[in-house]
Structures are given as C-alpha cells and as structure tokens.
Structure 1
C-alpha cells in the first residue's frame, strides 16, 4: 500500500524536492540575526510548510532544528537528516541551485546530501499516513541545520528540549545499512612564518572551502620567481598528481599559480585530487630553509598525496571499519600566518588519543600551534540488534537483495542519538557524489528511497 501511494505522489515528490534544492542553504552563522543563515532558515520553513500542507504537525525549534510528527504513542521513532549543504565549489555543468532535470537526474547541491533523501523520507511518511496503516509509536522526521560543520549545535539543542527516540535511521550515507562509522577529528595546525622560499617571495596562498571536502582549487601569488624554472616544476607536478596548474605572469614581477583539482567527500580523499597539495609540491620544489619552507615541506611531504597519514605516524586500520583517512581541506597564508585544517577519519576500535599523540609530537617538535576544532567518537552498532534486522528485512523486500552491513568513514547524525544507524540513500554501484561538483540524484532512486523509507518507518513504528 505504501508503494502504491508513493507512485501516485511521485510527481509532487519531484516538484517539492526541486523547490527545496533551489535554496542555497550553506551555513552562515548569525547572518542577519539568524542562527545558521537566511538560506538555512528558509529551507527549514519551506519543508515545514510542505509538511503542514500534508496535514502533519510541524515544529520549528527556534531556528536551531525542526521536526514533523505523525501518529500517537508515548514513544517515537525518528528519521534524522539535515538541510544544510557544503559550499557548491566549482566546475558545475548545471547551476548548483537550479535543481534542473537532465536525463532523469536532478542536479543540485544537496540532491544526495541530504535534502533529496529527507524529502523522500517525508513523502514516505505521507504515504504511510495516506495508507491508513496503524502504528503504536509516533514518528518524527527531524530536520537538522548544522550537520556539515560537525558542531552538533542543532542536535544538542534538540536533545536539551525533547525526549529521545527509541529507534530510527538517517538517510545520509549508503545502502544497504551502515553498522559502523569511523571517529572524526578536525584540527588546525598553525605557524607564524616569514614569506620567503629561497629568493622567491610568497604573497599569499589560499585553497579549500571545508575541512570535510577535498579542495578542488588553490592559488598562490609569488614574486621574484624565474618563470621558466617554475614552468618546469609545474610540468613535473602535473605529471605526478594529474592536477592542472595554470601559471600567469602579472604586473610588478608577480606570478599567480592556480591549481584545479577534483573535489570529493572528506571521508574518501583518495577519490579526489587535492589542489592544495599540488600547489605546495610546486612551492616545495623552490627550496629554501626558512620557516615557511619548512611548513610547505610538511604539507608537501608529510601529508602529500598519501591519504593514510602514514608519514605523520597515524596510519592505522581494523577489521570492522578499515583504514584511517587523512584529508587536508583548507590552507591559508597571508604573508605571515599560515594555517591548515585537516579532517581525519579513524577506525572504530581506535581512540582519539591514538590519533592525536603522534600529531602533537610532530607539532611540538616543529613549534607549531595545534587547535582541535571538533571530535566525533566512532559508532559501532550490534549486527544482531532488532533495528538492524528490521531494516534488513525492509531492504530485502524492496530491493530483492540481501542487506549486507558496511562501515564508512563518513559521519552522520547516527552518532548523536542511541539506536540510530545510517540507511541509504546511495545504492550499491551508484556514484557517491556527496560534496562534489555536479551532485545529482536519479529520479528513480528518489522514488525508490521514498518507498524504502516509508516501509522502514512503518516497520519500526508498527
């Protein structure tokens, strides 16, 4: 019955998903008096308005977070997701907030992460409501607004005000089911330096937008460099990294380097091409013994193109969740202050201190400054839990395949509340376009997600 209702609602699902995707909801703290920005607030109010038109109770908790509720009962099950998105970045073939449909795909930032799946969950609940099926628990779809920054300000606010769900899922990862999520550490390494690399003066370096994105662009402004020597270095680095680097001569003896890499999610940095690393490899080849040269060498050599953290002494792996991943997401240098922001995903059987100890030793030895920005502990769910079994049954019934359990490096809202796991929306064999240019969700997958989520909600709430 839920599947039939979804089919009848599919056109409206597509239309409302486009409406939400057309809102730029990158977080901008305290913009015009809002918690997380005008766009984020607009996205929440738009979704809540759609839900009210469906006949649901819709609540905005002081623009920190919102929820939609259905049914009766003392306990409730929940779907947790978010409406904020990472910055759009570069190299889109269609407007990142156009939500245009091409070849059966909706292109937009947030199509997969996480607006599209959350709209699928809302329509899954709508189908459950319209079907007349009875539940013994309430259902809430909770719309977070600050997930991409990893601060949990939204979920912390919710937990202070509301009773927690007894079970649920977040549609913010992959299918079949995520039973383990690596721990996440985000930190800055800073230094005060000179601006010399040998005889070359470095005016500035700037690259990256977010710690949890592989930076697809970085640029550096130099003065006093031998242009022909620089071209030879660039050719070598391009061959090694596969990253295009453009070099232009400007006025006042200045040269601008622009590297165009490939963005990817910070949990899978091996799938991207880090533009910051490419620029630092070029600069490192200029040599020198200055404080700046030492820091550039740290980025180019100690981090470099390796994404396991081996040269920093943090490489580690375990059987449940695999290897640690290291992503350098942001670098900035203003001629005096240099800073990098890194995002590390570590295996579930290891601890925060296992990662921090070798990094702190390196930082202390080099007299750099270390600042921890955020930490999320690992998640490791019992494979035989009732929640896992229920979602496995729904997935098998809907897709016709066994629901194997997988571990990821990505961090989701599943870590915020007990008895929650990540469940979709990316189907096996489909590309993971989270945080990448040209993010899209296939319309067929959007509709299938609505069916899976509607049946999963019913299974947990009945």
Structure 2
C-alpha cells in the first residue's frame, strides 16, 4: 500500500484542517473554566473543532467531559491508541510570521502548534482517515485520543485514565523519530522565602516548561555606578537590557526562550537579574537563589548526573515571583531513571540548609520516568516502519528529556514526527517547540502521515 502517495494527495486538505486548529489560541485559561470546559473556552473550542471534523468524516467520537476527545475506528476488543494534544503554550513574542495562522513558505509551515502538537496530532488523524477510506481491515480498535492540557500538567490524561477506556498499546506523535522508548522523570521543585531583598517586584515566566526569555525587576534606587555595572554586565554576558527610572527603577533583561528539556539552548533572563542584583546590591537572597540555579545540570545542588539510558539530568527555572515580601521560584527538572524525585528534593534541602537565606523546598509535582524495553515488539515494529520510509539505518531508538502522554499509559512510546539531526534548509527563522516562529518542514508531516498509517496497519493486523 503506497501510503505516501495517499498522504501527498491530501496535502492541501491537511493544511486547511490544520489552519482551523492553529487559528484557535488554545492555551489553558481557567478564567473561562466551566462545566465541560475545564481548561477554558479556547481549549473547548479546539476540541469541538477536531471532533466535528471527525464526525463529518464518519468516525465515532466521544467527549470526555472536555478534558479530552476520542476518535474511534472499529469495535474490536483489543485496542490500539494514538495520543495527541490540542493545547499549546502561550504565543510569546518575537514572531516574524502570524502565530495563529498556518503560513507556508519555502517548504516549511509556521504557526503555534504546527510542531507541538496540532500538526503531528492531525497527521495521526489523517493516517487513520486514509485507512478508513481505503477500508483496510484491522484486528484492533484504533483510538485517537486528543487531550487539552498537555502543556500545563497533563491533568487531561489523569482525568482520562480515571474515566475512559485505556488502549492496550500505542504511540504518541509528539516528539522525535525514529522511536522514543524512554522519557525522563519530570519534577517541579518550588523554592520560597520571606527573607528581605532589595527587589520590590520581579514576576517572570510564561510556563514551567519554558526557559524565561525576558524579565523585569524593580528596585527603589540605582546609583550611577550600579547603572554602569549593569551595562557592563549585559555586554560581558552578550545580552541586551535597559534601565527605566520612574517611581521605582525598572531593570529589564532579554534572554532567550527554549524548551525546559533543553535549558542550555536558552538564556534565562530572570537568573541574569538575580545574578546582577545579588552582586551589584550585595543582596543575599538573590545571591543564594542564583547560587542554586545557575547551572542547568544542577551541580551546585549536587544533583548533576548522567543516566545509563537517559543521559543528563537537566534543570530549568520556569517562574520567578518576588513581591510583597515573599519570593517563590518554580524549577523544572528532567531526571533519568537512575534516580528519584524524592532523592532530588533531599539534595535541594541539604543545599538550602547551607545558605545564609532561609529558603524552603517544596515538591510541587513529580511525574515518574517512562521506560519501555527497546527490544519489545512495539519498538522493533515501529522502527521497521520508520526505516521502510526513510532508509535511515543509522539512528536507533532513543530516550528524551521531554515528557509526553506516553508516561500515563502502559506499553506506549513516542514516535515522530521530528528528526532532530536534520539541518534547516531555508534562510528563514524556523523556531522549535515553545519558540517564536515555531515551524516544521511540510514534507516531514506528510511523510509522518504515511508512516503512522503503515504503523497502525502493521501493529493492528
């Protein structure tokens, strides 16, 4: 069956349907939360759009109380699942293209969600749509599950697992090819203190899983010497920033956003503020916070390690809030299955106990690592299908620092659509997940449709 031929024939329709999803700014918005819309109006709207699309194509659909939707093909007892998500991270700033519109240019498509995860989720849907149109017989019921809260804690999948049917096995089109059999654990560590600081206000961060790209701190005063130090600090660290004097002095720094799984790809603006203010003002709390958080591997805390399967532990500061005499910092840690969240928390407590500031450590959420045997039938069959279409025999199954829905289910792995080793072949800016100008090569998504269709048939026949 030439699935790539069928996928290419549907290219224009795919782009039209993807645009319907991308134009909805489906970020979590609890201010519009209501019954049937637990994550707000826009997440409800994008779910309705997706389910209506499937109904028009003749699929059976189920609405899991607004937390997720299910698109089913077949009624067999054995089940196979594909897990995608329709929510996105905040748009952020710095776009050169319209973030809420699918823009096609020089072989690439752009828009918030085209890569993470509306584009890949829709590729999974189109794979199932092709199978249905060709009336290919399967021995398992296929369940395409679309969640609405992947980017803000995966509350949608926690609810789904308690209230709906769980597939026997499957994959998640929300990461990389060839196949991801392991995902690091995801730990959120909170640090808080009521110690005094010269910072009157500092509120920075878009989401826990995004490196803070820009930040503003406010202090009561700044001498000419401190202002000179600030400009020297920016120049020596190759960052930009400015000072604005009003009732309070605003100190602004521009860093670089990135996915928290790869904090080394970003430049955390809030940490730069803590470093500068701690040094220029001899502010003890700022110095102590920065001393803990300055290294993305967590060396000052003693949590740096390289796992046997999952490589390095990573640490990213996602939120910094200092106001009204209270400070709170939220840290996103991705850890290999060689350690545990509890062990990391204990090391934070030990590190904080040695500081002058009184800093409390809080476990604000721990998602255990995912690990599927790389020699299992699920992994080996998916690898075989991938190689059939790409002729890539060099890259093997891998583990990642990002977290996907796969960790909420038994016998699930992540499967495409990105190929992170491929170089960008355009002069345009092509942003990654959670970045401005988020983009992906259109041919990669079309190829993914074919791979997913073949994988479903292979594993369900």
TM-score after normalising by structure 2? 0.93
What are the Cα deviations for residues 82-134 of structure 1, in whole angstroms up to 9, with x where unaligned?
Answer: 11111111111112212222223221111111111000110011111112221
Counterpart in the other structure of 1:208: 205
Q: Distance in 2 between matches of 1:194 and 1:309?
A: 25
Counterpart in the other structure of 1:302: 292
Q: Distance in 2 between matches of 1:191 and 1:100?
A: 45
Is residue 214 of structure 2 the alignment partner of residue 217 of structure 1? yes
- Judge conservation of contact 2:197–2:284 (CA < 8 Å) in 1: no
Q: Distance in 2 between matches of 1:342 and 1:353?
A: 15
SS at match of 2:130: helix
Is residue 395 of structure 2 the alignment partner of residue 395 of structure 1? no
- Judge conservation of contact 1:237–1:278 (CA < 8 Å) in 2: no
Counterpart in the other structure of 1:247: 243
Q: 2:251 aligns with which of 249, 252, 257?
A: 257
Counterpart in the other structure of 1:346: 335
Q: Distance in 2 between matches of 1:335 and 1:63?
A: 37
SS at match of 1:327: strand
Q: Distance in 2 between matches of 1:226 and 1:375?
A: 43
Counterpart in the other structure of 1:69: 72
Counterpart in the other structure of 2:314: 325
**Aligned in 2, Cα 1:59/1:30: closer, same or farther, shift over 3 Å?**
farther
1:157 to partner: Cα distance: 2.0
Counterpart in the other structure of 1:404: 396
1:187 to partner: Cα distance: 2.1
Q: 1:358 aligns with which of 347, 350, 356?
A: 347
Counterpart in the other structure of 2:427: none
Q: 1:273 aligns with which of 244, 267, 282?
A: 267
Matching of residues 88-237 of structure 1 within 5 Å: 88-150=91-153, 152-196=154-198, 202-237=199-234
Q: Distance in 2 between matches of 1:64 and 1:51?
A: 17
Q: Distance in 1 between matches of 2:158 and 2:204?
A: 31
SS at match of 1:329: strand
Counterpart in the other structure of 2:454: 455
Q: Distance in 2 between matches of 1:55 and 1:226?
A: 69
Q: Distance in 1 between matches of 2:140 and 2:64?
A: 22
1:298 to partner: Cα distance: 2.1
Q: Distance in 2 between matches of 1:184 and 1:287?
A: 35
Q: Distance in 2 between matches of 1:302 and 1:243?
A: 21
- Judge conservation of contact 2:89–2:207 (CA < 8 Å) in 1: yes
- Judge conservation of contact 2:195–2:358 (CA < 8 Å) in 1: no
Q: Distance in 1 between matches of 2:136 and 2:33?
A: 44
Q: Distance in 1 between matches of 2:339 and 2:291?
A: 25
Q: Distance in 2 between matches of 1:433 and 1:367?
A: 38
SS at match of 1:106: strand
TM-score after normalising by structure 1? 0.93
Counterpart in the other structure of 2:32: 31
1:436 to partner: Cα distance: 1.1
SS at match of 2:285: helix
- Judge conservation of contact 1:215–1:275 (CA < 8 Å) in 2: yes
1:32 to partner: Cα distance: 4.6
1:232 to partner: Cα distance: 2.4
Is residue 362 of structure 2 the alignment partner of residue 371 of structure 1? yes
**Aligned in 2, Cα 1:13/1:236: closer, same or farther, shift over 3 Å?**
same
Counterpart in the other structure of 1:199: none
Q: Distance in 2 between matches of 1:156 and 1:203?
A: 38
1:218 to partner: Cα distance: 0.4
- Structure 2 residue runs without a partner (length 5+): 425-430
- Judge conservation of contact 2:178–2:386 (CA < 8 Å) in 1: yes
Is residue 374 of structure 2 the alignment partner of residue 383 of structure 1? yes
CA root-mean-square deviation: 1.6
Q: 1:315 aligns with which of 291, 304, 321?
A: 304
1:307 to partner: Cα distance: 0.5
SS at match of 1:235: helix
1:404 to partner: Cα distance: 0.5
1:170 to partner: Cα distance: 0.3
1:139 to partner: Cα distance: 0.4
SS at match of 2:231: helix
Q: Distance in 2 between matches of 1:27 and 1:454?
A: 31
What are the Cα deviations for residues 242-300 of structure 1, in whole angstroms up to 9, with x where unaligned?
Answer: 3211222x234x32111111111101100101111111121012233xxxx22211232
Counterpart in the other structure of 1:45: 48
1:345 to partner: Cα distance: 0.7
SS at match of 1:285: helix
SS at match of 1:437: coil
- Judge conservation of contact 2:197–2:286 (CA < 8 Å) in 1: no
Q: Distance in 1 between matches of 2:319 and 2:5?
A: 47
